[in-house]
């Protein structure tokens, strides 16, 4: 395989670990924990893994011996930079426990466990993947592990390979399921520990104990580089408004972080839209107002950031999407009839007739292309696939219409030419930044220490992340601690609480204090590409979000 010169040099990078994990390690048990809400129900559902104590690893004073252990690992869900280093951390960690330990990777995501598809990860195989982006070392997938038949099928192969611990690297849903699996294997006395690792570029798996999910740092730096380049182009040509949709299925952390790094003219935050109960028309009015104000200053150009999940946060769109999800759910009766109808116009008419009056009105008002996109296949969780909906062009078209009307009223005298972009896949497999390379390796290493300590139902956690890596704190957090009960597909389920952008949080408050100036003036910042070698000030900075959240 030919690899780039950068990759050759980057392969030599030795990820940093917290000081506490460098030699022998001591486990400190903290307080017993409670779930963030719904304690009684969750305690009842997880009799074995509820209420476990927090764990911190500290530097130990005596070398311990560990029996060898066979470990399995699964990558679950969307790619995030640094996944390969989590696996490297697990591998090096279990080898540190005992050189005879072995690591097996299940192929193509959780489905690999159920279908018994795996490889053994050896030194030679792993070395080509250290410090690289992507999940191609074993592949990923979105199969949900939630049925006991799947757990039993998985146990067959775990037993066959004598695997005593399984690490599931995933987002909030995958880690919820990891805990359900941990509980089931405990109840079965199966002798298999299950440990989770917090992954997602979306940044929405975070709480007091998980400061950030891995991949968020690298992905937002890649998008910010691209946004900065576009800002500079926009400021050079002075003839386009660039509408940029940014990935993040639900929360707007990515958009907010990129705005903090690049200071665009507009950045919509879905959580604020929901809080203020804004309608689509109000959002369009806000954007058109900024375009007109800049035009009045002679600036017929600008950059607007739009979070991918926006439409689900606009109350009228949310109701519409919920109705569509139910209507088009597999086995709903209507779904088969809908799929058997080839003509889009007829399909839209059929759908509108089944919706409530209010939602039908919204559905009919949408451009045909967007209405079609809203009826596309759902993901395995039954949700609309927001990455397939062109919110950026929906808003661009609507802003254009509004500006045309304003022109007639004499309140807009400028020009409005648009370019559309969607940044998502560009960042998910980027070579991990130093931060993610170190953080991921530390998470994997922490997972192996949890395995060595016989723990199950825990998520690996590494904290104190705005400090140098030596000062990071390696811990284990009981997954049940992060759970609450939520309605999913009509049923109340225990799930890890998703972290949306907090409007009281320091990152949003800082942004809200600056955005008016960023809108009217041209205060773009051009961050440039991620640097892997060079001064620490450019190579090792954590995200602005983390810096603002942890500013003391």
Report strand pairing: 458-463 vs 473-478. Answer: antiparallel
Least distance (Å) between residue 388 CB and ligand FBP: 8
Q: Output the DSSP codes for 58-90.
A: EE-SS-------EEEEEEBSS--TTHHHHHHHH
Q: Which of 11, 132, 202, 3 is nearest to 433 (CA)?
A: 132
Considering beta carbons, is residue 80 or 548 the nearer one to ligand FBP? 80
Q: With binding defined as CB under 6 A, does residue 444 bind ligand FBP?
A: no
Stretch that binds ligand FBP, among 45-53, 74-82, 290-298, 449-457 (CB under 6 A): 74-82
Return all residues near 179 (Cβ < 8 A) that are at least 6 apart: 46, 49, 194, 196, 457, 479, 480, 483
Least distance (Å) between residue 408 CB and ligand FBP: 38
Return all residues near 323 (Cβ < 8 A) that are at least 6 apart: 355, 356, 359
Q: With binding defined as CB under 6 A, does residue 248 bind ligand FBP?
A: yes
Least distance (Å) between residue 117 CB and ligand FBP: 20
DSSP state of 109: S
Considering beta carbons, is residue 308 or 312 the nearer one to ligand FBP? 308
Torsion of CA 234, 236, 238, 240, to 10 degrees: -30
Q: Which of 10, 96, 221, 249 binds ligand FBP (CB under 6 A)?
A: 249
Please calculate the CA angle 466-497-440 and round it to the nearest 5 degrees: 40
User: How far is it, in rounded angstroms, from Cα 65 to Cα 247?
Assistant: 45
Q: With binding defined as CB under 6 A, does residue 306 bind ligand FBP?
A: no
Q: With binding defined as CB under 6 A, does residue 82 bind ligand FBP?
A: no
Q: With binding defined as CB under 6 A, does residue 200 bind ligand FBP?
A: yes
Least distance (Å) between residue 479 CB and ligand FBP: 16
What is the size of the binding site for ligand FBP (CB under 6 A)? 14
Stretch that binds ligand FBP, among 77-85, 108-116, 126-134, 523-531 (CB under 6 A): 77-85
User: How far is it, in rounded angstroms, from Cα 403 to Cα 418?
Assistant: 13
Stretch that binds ligand FBP, among 76-84, 153-161, 228-236, 431-439 (CB under 6 A): 76-84
Question: Are the C-beta atoms of residues 9 and 39 closer than 8 Å to each other?
Answer: no
Please calculate the CA angle 501-506-507 and round it to the nearest 5 degrees: 55
Q: Which of residues 447-466 bind ligand FBP (CB under 6 A)?
A: none
Q: Which of 86, 138, 165, 201 binds ligand FBP (CB under 6 A)?
A: 201
- Percentages helix, strand, coil for the chain (3-state, rounded to 5) are 45, 15, 40
Q: Which of 78, 141, 527, 542 binds ligand FBP (CB under 6 A)?
A: 78
Q: Which of 45, 291, 310, 386 binds ligand FBP (CB under 6 A)?
A: 386
Q: Which of 92, 183, 202, 312 binds ligand FBP (CB under 6 A)?
A: 202
Considering beta carbons, is residue 17 or 201 the nearer one to ligand FBP? 201
Q: Which of residues 409-438 bind ligand FBP (CB under 6 A)?
A: 428
Least distance (Å) between residue 128 CB and ligand FBP: 24
Q: With binding defined as CB under 6 A, does residue 247 bind ligand FBP?
A: yes
Least distance (Å) between residue 214 CB and ligand FBP: 10
| Annotated catalytic residue 344 | no
Which H, E and C letters describe 540-552, residue by residue? Answer: CCCCHHHHHHCCC
CB atoms within 10 A of CB 375: 18
CA distances from 494 to 230, 456, 486 (A): 42, 18, 6
Sign of torsion over alpha carbons 107, 109, 545, 259: positive
User: How far is it, in rounded angstroms, from Cα 366 to Cα 363?
Assistant: 6
Considering beta carbons, is residue 76 or 278 the nearer one to ligand FBP? 76
Question: Are the C-beta atoms of residues 239 and 227 closer than 8 Å to each other?
Answer: no
Q: Which of 387, 418, 531, 550 binds ligand FBP (CB under 6 A)?
A: 387
Q: Which of 171, 198, 264, 414 binds ligand FBP (CB under 6 A)?
A: 171
Considering beta carbons, is residue 77 or 476 the nearer one to ligand FBP? 77
> Catalytic: which of 173, 202, 217, 436?
202
Catalytic residues, by residue number, are 202
Provide the binding-site residues for ligand FBP, judged by CB under 6 A: 77-78, 80, 171, 200-202, 247-249, 308, 386-387, 428
């Amino acid at each position: 395989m030919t690899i780039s010169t950068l990759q050759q040099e980057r392969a030599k990078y030795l990820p940093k670990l917290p000081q506490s994990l460098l030699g022998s390690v001591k486990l400190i048990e903290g307080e017993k924990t409670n779930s963030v809400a719904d304690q009684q129900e969750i305690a009842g559902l997880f009799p074995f893994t509820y209420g476990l104590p927090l764990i911190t690893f500290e530097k130990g004073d005596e070398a311990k011996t560990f029996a060898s252990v066979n470990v399995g690992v699964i990558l679950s869900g969307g790619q995030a930079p640094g996944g390969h280093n989590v696996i490297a951390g697990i591998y090096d960690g279990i080898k540190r426990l005992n050189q005879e330990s072995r690591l097996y990777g299940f192929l193509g995501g959780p489905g690999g466990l159920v279908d018994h598809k795996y490889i053994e990860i050896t030194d030679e195989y792993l070395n080509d993947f250290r410090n690289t982006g992507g999940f191609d070392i074993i592949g990923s997938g979105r199969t949900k592990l939630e049925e006991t038949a799947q757990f039993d099928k998985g146990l067959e192969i775990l037993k066959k390979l004598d695997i005593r611990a399984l690490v599931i690297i995933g987002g909030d849903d995958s880690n919820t399921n990891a805990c359900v699996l941990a509980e089931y294997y405990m109840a079965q006395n199966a002798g298999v520990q299950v440990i989770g690792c917090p992954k997602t570029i979306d940044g929405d798996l975070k709480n007091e104990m998980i400061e950030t999910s891995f991949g968020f740092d690298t992905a937002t730096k890649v998008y910010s580089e691209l946004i900065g380049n576009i800002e500079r182009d926009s400021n050079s040509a002075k003839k386009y408004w660039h509408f940029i949709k940014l990935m993040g299925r639900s929360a707007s952390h990515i958009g907010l972080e990129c705005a903090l790094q690049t200071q665009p003219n507009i950045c919509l935050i879905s959580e604020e839209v929901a809080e203020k109960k804004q309608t689509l028309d109000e959002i369009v009015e806000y954007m058109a107002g900024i375009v007109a104000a800049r035009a009045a200053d002679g600036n017929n150009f600008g950059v607007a950031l739009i979070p991918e999940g926006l439409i689900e946060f606009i109350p009228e769109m949310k109701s519409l999407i919920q109705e569509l999800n139910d209507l088009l759910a597999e086995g709903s009766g209507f779904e088969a009839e809908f799929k058997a109808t080839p003509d889009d116009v007829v399909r839209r008419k059929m759908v509108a007739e089944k919706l409530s009056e209010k939602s039908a009105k919204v559905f009919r008002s949408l451009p045909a292309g967007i209405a079609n996109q809203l009826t596309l296949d759902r993901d395995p969780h039954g949700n609309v696939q927001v990455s397939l909906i062109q919110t950026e062009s929906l808003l661009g078209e609507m802003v254009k219409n509004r500006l045309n009307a304003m022109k007639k009223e004499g309140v807009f005298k400028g020009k409005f030419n648009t370019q559309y972009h969607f940044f998502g896949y560009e960042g998910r497999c980027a070579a991990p930044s130093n931060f993610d390379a170190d953080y991921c390796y530390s998470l994997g290493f922490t997972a192996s220490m949890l395995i060595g300590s016989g723990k199950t139902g825990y998520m690996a956690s590494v904290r104190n992340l705005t400090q140098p890596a030596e000062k990071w704190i390696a811990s284990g957090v009981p997954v049940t601690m992060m759970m609450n009960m939520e309605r999913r597909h009509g049923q109340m389920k225990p799930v890890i609480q998703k972290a949306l952008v907090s409007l009281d949080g320091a990152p949003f408050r800082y942004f809200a204090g600056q955005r008016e100036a960023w809108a009217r003036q041209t205060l773009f910042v051009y961050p440039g590409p991620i640097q892997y070698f060079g001064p620490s000030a450019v190579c090792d900075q954590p995200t602005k979000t983390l810096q603002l959240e942890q500013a003391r």
